[in-house]
């Protein structure tokens, strides 16, 4: 079965206008903060990692019909079921029916502000030097990934320039597959808008993408 991301919508026409929301408007329904709390607590438990949760969200078949926190909630149910943490009859009943299974960690209420403020750092140390430097011309890989990836579809096979070297970071693609952190050098690559969208791009448009080393090759 091929991997399909329903969230890779950047640069695609036909999705309507982006409607900015008022600054500070975080939730639109009373249940949404509860979904945020559940997602944060389970993410901290070690039952899965952030990239596995992103993969679960983007592969939901009804992704396009769901609101932001409906996506989070649906993916949470998938992850809990896959790992045997919630049985189907428990989900239907809306309560625990069996003794809880142990998890690696428990996020305590007192630790929530720090967890929200700091997140989970992804910077790592590796022995290999960076292959590319600031100012180098590179091209992104053209083949489509049959897995979760952070390289947006509109940037596949495109010519750009390295703007910054961020250091080695956890490689999201491997992390999402449960293959470990497999850290790689991470770069910020800038693309001229015309390289991405031809004459449809606004004059002077430049788009920057954070790209792991395996995403790019020498131009």
For residue 41, the domain's CATH number is 1.10.472
The C-alpha atoms of residue 183 and residue 199 are separated, in whole angstroms, by 37
Q: Are 145 and 3 in contact (CB under 8 A)?
A: yes
* Model confidence pTM above 0.85: yes
**Does residue 143 share a domain with residue 112?**
no
Task: For residue 114, count other CB atoms closer than 10 A to its CB.
Answer: 9
**Does residue 211 share a domain with residue 171?**
yes
What pLDDT is recorded for position 1? 65
Among residues 87, 118, 149, the one where a domain terminates is: 118
Residue range(s) defining the domain that contains residue 101:
32-118
For residue 191, the domain's CATH number is 2.30.30.50
Domain count, the chain: 2
Domain assignment of residue 199, yes or no: yes
Domain assignment of residue 128, yes or no: no
**Does residue 166 share a domain with residue 110?**
no
**Does residue 56 share a domain with residue 94?**
yes
Q: Are strands 137-140 and 206-212 parallel, antiparallel or unpaired?
A: unpaired
What pLDDT is recorded for position 126? 98
In the block, residue with structure tokens 């409906």:
70
Adjacent-strand bridge partners of 212 = 186
What pLDDT is recorded for position 124? 98
Q: Write out the chain's pLDDT in tens, 219 residues.
A: 689 999 999 888 888 888 888 999 999 999 999 999 999 999 999 999 999 999 999 999 999 999 999 999 999 999 999 999 999 999 999 999 999 999 999 999 999 999 889 888 999 999 999 999 999 999 999 998 889 999 999 999 999 999 999 999 999 999 999 999 999 999 999 999 999 999 989 999 999 999 999 999 999
Reduced to 3 states (helix: H, G, I; strand: E, B; else coil), residue 212 is strand
Task: For residue 16, count other CB atoms closer than 10 A to its CB.
Answer: 6
């Amino acid at each position: 079965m091929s991997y399909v991301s329903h969230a890779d919508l950047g640069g695609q026409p036909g999705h309507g206008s982006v409607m900015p929301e008022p600054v500070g408007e975080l939730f639109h329904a009373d249940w949404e903060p509860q979904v945020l709390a559940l997602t944060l607590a389970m993410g901290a438990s070690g039952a899965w990692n952030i990239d596995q949760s992103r993969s679960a969200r983007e592969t939901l078949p009804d992704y396009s019909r769901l609101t932001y926190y409906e996506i989070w909630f649906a993916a949470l149910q998938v992850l809990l079921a896959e790992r045997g943490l919630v049985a189907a009859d428990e989900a239907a009943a809306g309560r625990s029916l069996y003794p809880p299974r142990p998890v690696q960690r428990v996020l305590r209420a007192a630790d929530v502000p720090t967890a929200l403020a700091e997140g989970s750092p992804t910077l790592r140390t590796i022995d290999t030097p960076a292959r590319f430097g600031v100012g180098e011309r590179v091209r992104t890989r053209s083949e489509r990934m049959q897995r979760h990836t952070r390289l947006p579809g509109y940037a596949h096979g495109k010519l750009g320039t390295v703007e910054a070297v961020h250091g080695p970071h956890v490689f999201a693609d491997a992390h999402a597959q449960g293959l470990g952190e497999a850290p790689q050098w991470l770069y910020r690559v800038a693309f001229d808008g015309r390289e991405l969208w031809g004459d449809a791009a606004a004059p002077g448009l430049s788009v920057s993408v954070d790209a792991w080393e395996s995403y790019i090759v020498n131009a």
